[in-house]
Structure 1
Amino acid sequence: MYIAHIRQKDDVKQTVREHLLECKTLSESYGEHLGLKHLAGLGGLLHDVGKYSNKFLCYLTQAVYDPENAPARGSVDHSTAGGKLLFERYHIDGKNPYYQLVAEVVGNAIISHHSSLQDFSNDRLESPYLKRVEEKEVYEFQDIKERFFQEVMSEDKLDKYVEMAAGELQSCLSACKKEDIAKQLYFLTRFVFSALVDADRTNTRQFEDNWKDDSVDSMALFERYDERLERKIQSLRCESDDTVINQLRQKMSDKCAEAADLPSDIYTLSIPTGGGKTLASLRYALKHALKFKKKRIIYVVPFTTIIEQNAAEVCSILGDWTHIIEHHSNVIDADEENEFTEGSYTNQEKVKLARDNWDSPVIFTTMVQFLEAFYGHGSRSARRLHNLCEAVVIFDEVQKVPTKSVTLFNQALNFLKYTGKSSLLLCTATQPALDFVEGRLEIGSDHELVPDLQKVEVAFKRTNMVDMTGEGTYATNELADFAMSQLDKENSVLVILNTKSVVKKLYLELKERNLPVELYHLSTSMCASHRKDVLREIRDMLEKGEQLICVTTQLIEAGVDVDFGCVIRSLAGLDSIAQAAGRCNRHGKQEIKNVYIIDHAEEDVSKMPDVARGKEITARLLRVMEKDKTLFKGNMLSNQAMTRYFKEFYTVQESVLMYPLYSLGTSISEILFSTPFNHPFIRQMKHQLHKQSRTFMSSSFMLASMHFQVIDRHTYTVLVPYDHEAKEMIADLNGKQQIEDLSRLMIKGQQYTVNVHKWEKDLLAKQGMLISYLDGSILAMVDNGYSAEFGLDVNGEGVNSEAYYI
């Protein structure tokens, strides 16, 4: 009997045959409605064929029953055999080219399912894929194939199955324009990889947990949610005043409900700040999901503060705190590269099996996590990609797409639209011109859900922008004087600056003055739970009309429901200024209030290129508007002004939009989406080595994923002892963790994490402030290392990554 897994608690064995067929069924279910049933299922069917060897059987039994004398973990390769079988049998000259493509797409997913997808070509002018499936020797390979054909599927049936997969692939590629075929092959490979990894991990976890079936009927939940939401909207309408703004909010919300009947596509929702975007988009999502049988609703946002607020609001309205999941931090940093031995699991191996795959009905996540699913390194993030298909995906504050990732973002959305059968809604008051750039977003010109945008803008005008940049720069003490002077006119002042260091400096300057008002500090050095508590206190103060000053980074700008009497914003991109204005007189209860734009003398944004370029373009537009007051109809924050800003921004950035790899003289877009005829490494190989490509695909999967980072530097997640609950959770990590315990920890622990750069991690470790748990998979801070005022406070200036949160 050839064994795939041995259950730890009762020594029950799962055979290779059982595991392969069960993974095949799961993978098929992920691809079936996309017309990719057999293409996805083939990965599940063949991924662990290599376990049909005596060498692996000995290795597994020794690892479980005699671990002290067992071979090194991962020393027996069981991943190559399935990819090699496909290549040997179907990647043959003269054979139907779609059979060869199946061997490449599915074979790469199989050989990579414990690590990261392999390159078909790389900068060393090699093909690691071919080295694995063609050149690498697999011990007992002939015996492995015979056992598979005898126990799992006969040769004739496998041929028929591959024929079906090839037909699906041909149909999928035939629907593409010729220039898009390489892109489609990239995303199809990533999809098959996602389906395989999730099927493998899910089946293994289910076996380890004794086959618990905890699936949820999404349609039944969505019906219940829809009924509750409609009741909530009716009650809000009964309570609200019959003002012009409230009438417009209701009209826009109703328009979103009507738009739910439109076919799956990409749409924009440009409701101004304070216009009820969260409930309006949720109305669209629920009704659309019910009508078109979408599996889940996924909110993608740039800031964790939006997740914290919006998820809490949605949970409260829908009356469900169980099936609505926040996912924004990788609490556990598992090693993606090493294969694990099913059987006696180490802590890191339990981490990989833990449920972290976005299979809940409603998900709130970040832009970082979304992009990692399509382009990130390793298998953990990629595992989630297939759950983005057949979904309603709402992008809140979509203008915050990282500049270098704009083309990659657009191509991912195009795939979800055409192949993934998802509906995509781009929400923001400041729509970026994503259809203006090269590698454009495939969106129609008439896909805006809000009618008469210009009239809506006029009706929602609640602030007046005052440009003070022409008066020179402000030092910290001068800015403190100006903020205090505004308290004579307004009870509440919000100051938003571009870097954490100047925020802290201004806060300390104001604190030294012993002001007779409440003073608050906010930044991403504070964990989510901490920020939530501070924001709750600020809202209470604002509602009571008490005097306060809040000094913060841009984390407060997008989606955070606060209403200040005055906002002071350091010069930045026009979209950031517009979002900052949305925190002033938010509900329009007072006369027009001022938003002051100043230029801070001590800010260093040299390591924040997007902010630096945004400042430059905004300053230029301010100078132009100073000369011509009629420009943009006198409204610097109008939709016209925003379109002009983004077109200039993306034109300046044109070389950056495709994620350049300067050291290699190319870009991630080029090495992923090029055909063998124009791929830079294939061209070099022909010129320097006089060799032709021997694969249809040329994508440099591994190389691209190793270079891809949404923020400029890798960060490490640290659990912090913010409150009693956080301290208890950290203390519990010393105990023996079950897989489901880790699944719950991944969700709960996000409220108590802070992301730090390597230099910060090293400094904290040197100071004895960090403790390592679960074989290094989790980092936590010691009890006395967290500041109630500043959060995780590390001295020194690092790369500021306020814009995007993991």
Structure 2
Amino acid sequence: MNYIAHIREADRQHQTVEEHLLGVMALAETYGEKIGIKHITGLAGMLHDLGKYTVEFREYILKAVDNPDSPPTRGSVDHSTAGGKLLYQFFHSSEAVKEHRYRGILAEIIGNAIISHHSYLQDFLSPELESKYLLRVRDKELDKFDETVELFFKHVMKESEFYHYVDQAADELEKFLSKSSSASNENKLMFLSKFVFSALIDADRTNTRLFEENIAENSVPNTDELFEAYYDRLMAKINSFTVQPDALSRINQLRREMSDHCEQYAAKPSGIYTLSIPTGGGKTLASLRYALKHATLYHKKHIIYVVPYTTIIEQNAEAVRKLLKDDMHILEHHSNVIDDADEDDELWDGVMNAKQKLKLAKDNWDAPIIFTTMVQFLNVFYAKGSGNIRRLHNLSESVIIFDEVQKVPIPCVSLFNQALNFLEVYCHSSIVLCTATQPALDFVEHKLDLKPDSEMIKNLPQVIEAFKRVEIIDHASDEEFNNEKLADFIGEKLNKLQSVLVILNTKSVVKNLYLQLKERYSDIPLYHLSTSMCAAHRAQILGEVRQHLENRNRVICISTQLIEAGVDVSFECVIRSLAGLDSIAQAAGRCNRHGEQALRQVYVIDHVEENLKHLKEIRMGKQISKKMLIDLKRDQTAHDGDIFSDVAMEWYFKQLYREFDNDVDYYIPRLRKKMTELLSAAKADNTYTQAFYSKRNEHLPLFLANSYRTAAEHFRVIDDLTTSVIVPYHHEGKEIIAELNGERSIADLTRLLRSAQQFTINLFDHELQLLSKNSGLESCLDGKVLVLKEGAYNEEFGLDIENDSGFDLSMF
């Protein structure tokens, strides 16, 4: 009998179960080979759809294809349990475990990946003291399971070969655990589980996509050749700077020296390094030079830039495209247009519809150069949804550059450190922490494994002093501002200066100030920037602002903090609402950026109209910074006499982390547990295993007891969960929405979803509810993608909750 894994939509061609299992195994092996676990990931691939070797599944898939409007009952055929059950029965009995302990651990790691590959990793032990893993692989009865196993050994791999393959996987596990690392075994196994799950998800979806598109194999660019060509183009550009009129200026000489230091570091083995280039020091070019040289020398497959805000993505990606003269191999990933966090798609596996096509669209970070955000990076490791974790394996064999690393959300500091340690030790990745204000990442329990000689820049104190281009004027320690007073203050500066940038902490205050200034200064170009605007919109605004600055026109820009990290603009004056010391330092980098004047002023104010009730990090950072300003006003030698000195920065971060205490380990109040405990606590220290024993008077019969799914369900990089929505900005945004509403192939959806990154905004639940109430929302692709109606997007502010902007998009 022909057992079916998938049926192609175009010609009803069948992909057999054997073809699919062996194809996924082969892909998974290539992913696992990168970190020495080829047989572990291959084992997951060869067994993941074992349950399709049944007459019931064959009848189910044929019926589903023939009757798309009346699919079979959900859960009528379970095909994802069988592979996990085989591993448990063969290698997890008491006798089997005694004979070979590592086989038993493998059964848990791989078995969990297999039973979860249509949703997310299950808990080995949940807060309710249940093991969803055991309920599936041990307790659930599967009809004709023995026949399914026989078919596997007959068609996919002979039983003797299978046992040998498992032994090879067990050897890999033993080597993996024996590798020298500061991490506990539980922590190592947690990251191994996530890597295996990532490899399986991506291999499964890639093989299915290739079959659906009738393509023989996945095309992969030769990154060695590509990075060599990129490096030559970059160096040609850098060398061209030496003949420019200002090449011998002190700042440009320093930029060249720091760039040279980065190249020298590229020859060092992969590790975790810091690049503490002062603001305006040319860190984009310097870090790219390091990345390309290191990637060429050590055969890395990806260069990944991780930035704090989506604003910086479009600017940096565009700059790199121009430098390297390539559009094809550079990916921008702002947010997840598709939300699959609560999706269980087992019902439709094998049958093609809009949801399946979206799942199969390439969203796995397989590009040579990738720009993404800190939110998306952390989501890969810790957030729910198979789409997030699918990307994890592509972080291996990479150069990963964290731009403005001080913006790591405080609750995520320990999780961030653990992820970086894993990437360096096990995944052969080199990591660069790039910022002018290095955070104190070693003041927490789960420390970052930084070596003593990790800083790339020599003579750092002298470099920082040489780059000093602004002075901080304190208006925050002894007076308060509202928008009325701030508008007057801006007017005073405009009597003497051409350009003013104002950075405030909340979107509502930014918008209100903008409207107030609009009435006062109708003759001066005035711009508003916030995350209510999509990337393409912000890019257009920043382009206009830069043009005014270059022409030395009068211009005012009112922005949230999104402009202060990495955005290449240079104003004569910056006014910054009091916030964390790192934010003030970054804001200062938007003033006199290229040393156009000897010294310019950055004014720090205390804005009383900002509601920071739900912005704890900003609120606490503001309090600490204010205390430091008061210290300096009382004693000019306090904090080494400079608010931005190394001494001041170290003191600031120590105080900040002390204020958050348990929060750096991502404390979950509802569970009264840290995320780090849920993910990697030893069984002996796990309160859930202790409670399990007390309740049942027996030990949990597993090696692992961690709560992966529960941890993922509680993980948010920011406090409030948001949803990505595509906006009809410009004709291209409208075209993307129109195309998504039509019938599209997987390749078309891949292209459209990548293009849509420039035209998305992230909305909170209350904003979605108001938009729905005001008829400002629509959906497409069976409700999987949300879009704004044209009236709900404004040319000045972006999102218009009232859906009454009157914005005529046809003018664009």
TM-score category, normalised to shorter length: over 0.9
Q: List aligned pairs for 1:251-262, cutoff 5 A.
A: 251-262=257-268
Q: 525, 546, 549: which one pairs with 1:518?
A: 525
Aligned-partner Cα distance in 2 for 1:340–1:289: 42
Rounded Cα–Cα distance in structure 2 between residues aligned with 1:511 and 1:485: 16
In structure 1, the partner of 2:10 is 9
What is the deviation of 1:8?
1.1
From the superposition, tell whether residues 281 and 21 of structure 1 become closer, same or farther in structure 2 (CA, over 3 Å). same
Deviations 1:131-161 (A, max 9, x none): 1110011121011000001111111111111
Distance in structure 1 (CA, Å) of the matches to 2:725 and 2:271: 39
Over 3 Å counting, the alpha-carbon distance change for 1:742 and 1:179 in structure 2 is closer
Contact 2:477 2:629 in 1 (8 A): no
Matched, 1:318 2:319: no
Correspondence for 1:172 among 170, 176, 185 = 176
TM-superposed CA distance for 1:641, in Å, is 1.4
Cα distance in 2 for partners of 1:765, 1:508 equals 26
Cα deviation 1:239-280 (Å, max 9, x = unaligned): 143011111100000010111100010000000011000010
Q: What does 1:343-382 align with in structure 2 at a 5 Å threshold?
A: 343-382=350-389
Contact 2:34 2:396 in 1 (8 A): no
1:697 aligns with 2:704: yes
Question: In structure 2, what residue type is equivalent to 1:19?
Answer: H
Give the CA deviation at 1:632: 3.7
Q: Which residue of 2 aligns with 1:454?
A: 461
Match runs of 1:662-681 below 5 Å: 662-681=669-688
Contact 2:792/2:801, CA 8 A, preserved across alignment: no
- From 142, 145, 160, the equivalent of 1:138 is 142
Could you give the per-residue CA deviations for residues 325-361 of structure 1, whole angstroms, max 9, x where no partner exists?
A: 0011212234522325344312111110000000011
Residue among 253, 264, 279 paired with 1:273: 279
Within 5 Å, give how 1:208-607 maps onto structure 2.
Answer: 208-212=212-216, 213-239=218-244, 240-334=246-340, 336-607=343-614
Provide structure 2 residue ranges, at least 5 long, that are not aligned to the other structure. 804-812
CA distance in 2, matches of 1:508, 1:70: 54
Residue deviations 1:665-720 (CA, integer Å, cap 9, x gap): 11111111101111121122223433312111111001000000111111111111
Q: Which residue of 1 aligns with 2:90?
A: 89
Quote the residue 2:22 is aligned against. 21
8 Å Cα contact 2:774-2:802 kept in structure 1: no
Deviation of 1:631 after TM superposition, in Å, equals 2.9
The two structures have a TM-score, normalised by structure 1, of: 0.97
| Maintained 8 Å contact 2:241/2:247 | no
For 2:688 and 2:707, how far apart are their aligned partners in 1? Answer: 9
The answer to whether the 8 Å contact 2:6/2:351 transfers is: no
Residue 799 (structure 1) aligns with: none
SS, match of residue 664 in structure 1: coil
Q: Say whether the 8 Å CA contact 2:504–2:560 is kept in structure 1.
A: yes
Aligned twin of 2:761: 754
Q: What secondary structure, in the 3-state scheme, does the structure 2 residue paired with 1:436 have?
A: coil
In 2, are the aligned partners of 1:2 and 1:16 still within 8 Å (CA)?
yes
1:424 corresponds to which letter in structure 2?
A: I
Counterpart residue number, 2:42: 41
> How far is 1:643 from its partner?
1.5
Identify which range, 65-74 or 421-430, moves more after superposition: 65-74
1:655 maps onto 2:662 in alignment:
yes
| C-alpha distance in 1 between matches for 2:518 and 2:229 | 49
Asked if 2 retains the 8 angstrom alpha-carbon contact of 1:121 and 1:699, the reply is: yes
SS in 1 for 2:184: helix
| CA deviation vs aligned residue, 1:13-45 (integer Å, no higher than 9, x gap) | 111111111111111101113111111111001
* 1:801 counterpart residue number: none
Question: What residue is the counterpart of 2:211 in the other structure?
Answer: 207
C-alpha displacement of 1:588:
0.4
Secondary structure of the corresponding residue to residue 586 of structure 1: coil
The equivalent residue for 2:810 is: none
Shift in Å, 1:737 = 1.3
- Offset at residue 75 of structure 1 (A): 3.3
Q: Secondary structure of 1:663's partner?
A: coil
Measure, in 2, the Cα distance between the counterparts of 1:58 and 1:142: 19
SS in structure 2 opposite 1:34? coil
What secondary structure, in the 3-state scheme, does the structure 2 residue paired with 1:108 have? helix
The separation in 1 between residues aligned to 2:484 and 2:702, in whole angstroms, is 64
Question: 2:776·2:801 contact (CA, 8 Å) conserved in 1?
Answer: no
Cα deviation, residue 654, structure 1 = 1.8
- Rounded Cα–Cα distance in structure 2 between residues aligned with 1:649 and 1:638: 16
Query: For the residues of structure 2 that align with 1:514 and 1:598, how far apart are their CA atoms?
Result: 22
Give the Cα separation in 2 of the matches to 1:75 and 1:293: 47
By how many angstroms is 1:214 displaced? 2.5
* Contact 1:74–1:338, Cα closer than 8 Å, also in 2: no
What is the number of equivalent residue pairs in this alignment? 796
- Comparing 523-532 with 621-630, greater Cα deviation is found at 621-630
Alignment of 1:612 with 2:619, yes or no, is yes
Overall identity of the aligned pairs, in %: 52
Cα distance in 2 for residues equivalent to 1:683 and 1:624: 49
Question: How far apart, CA to CA, are the structure 1 residues paired with 2:180 and 2:167?
Answer: 20
Q: What CA deviation, in whole Å up to 9, does each residue of 1:40-82 have, x standing for no partner? A: 1110010000000111111011111244554135531110000
Q: Does the C-alpha gap of structure 1 residues 664 and 462 become closer, same or farther in structure 2, counting only changes over 3 Å?
A: same
Name the CA distance, whole Å, in 1 between partners of 2:284 and 2:704: 42
CA–CA distance in structure 2, aligned partners of residues 179 and 780 of structure 1: 43
Matched, 1:99 2:99: no
Residues in 2 aligned to 1:786 and 1:653: alpha-carbon distance in whole angstroms: 37
Give 1:803's aligned residue: none
Q: State the AA in 2 paired with 1:16.
A: V
Contact 1:63–1:343 at 8 Å: present in 2 too? no
Deviation at 1:236, TM superposition (A): 1.6
Residue 109 of structure 1: which of 113, 117, 132 is its match?
A: 113
Structure 1 runs, 4 residues or longer, greater than 4 Å off: 176-179
| Paired AA for residue 505 in structure 1 | N
Residues 505-559 of structure 1 deviation map (CA, whole Å, 9 limit, x = unaligned): 1111111224431111110101110000000000000111111111110000000
SS in 2 for 1:717: strand
- SS of the aligned residue for 2:502 comes to strand
The DSSP-based 3-state class of the residue aligned with 2:433 is strand
Q: Please say if 1:129 is aligned against 2:133.
A: yes
Normalising by structure 2, report the TM-score.
Answer: 0.96
Consecutive unaligned residues of structure 1, counting only runs of 5 or more, are: 797-806
- CA distance in structure 1 between the partners assigned to 2:578 and 2:471 by the alignment: 16
Amino acid at match of 2:546: R
Task: After superposition, give the CA deviation of every residue in 1:736-792 in whole Å (9 maximum; x if it has no partner).
Answer: 011111111111001111111111111101111111101111111112221101101
Q: Which amino acid aligns with 2:261?
A: K
Hey, what does 2:73 align to over in structure 1? 72
Q: What SS is found at the alignment partner of 1:467?
A: strand
The whole-number CA distance in structure 2 between the counterparts of 1:654 and 1:670 is 16
Q: Distance in 2 between matches of 1:448 and 1:146?
A: 58
Indicate conservation of the 8 Å contact 2:480/2:606, yes or no.
yes
Secondary structure of the equivalent of 1:587?
coil
- Aligned amino acid, residue 202 of structure 1: T
**Conserved in 2, the CA contact under 8 Å of 1:336 and 1:380?**
no
Residues 583 and 68 (structure 1 numbering): CA distance in 2 closer, same or farther, change over 3 Å? closer
CA distance in 1, matches of 2:181, 2:227: 36
CA deviation vs aligned residue, 1:481-521 (integer Å, no higher than 9, x gap): 00111111211111100000000111111112244311111
- Equivalent pair of 1:117/1:378 in contact (CA under 8 Å): no
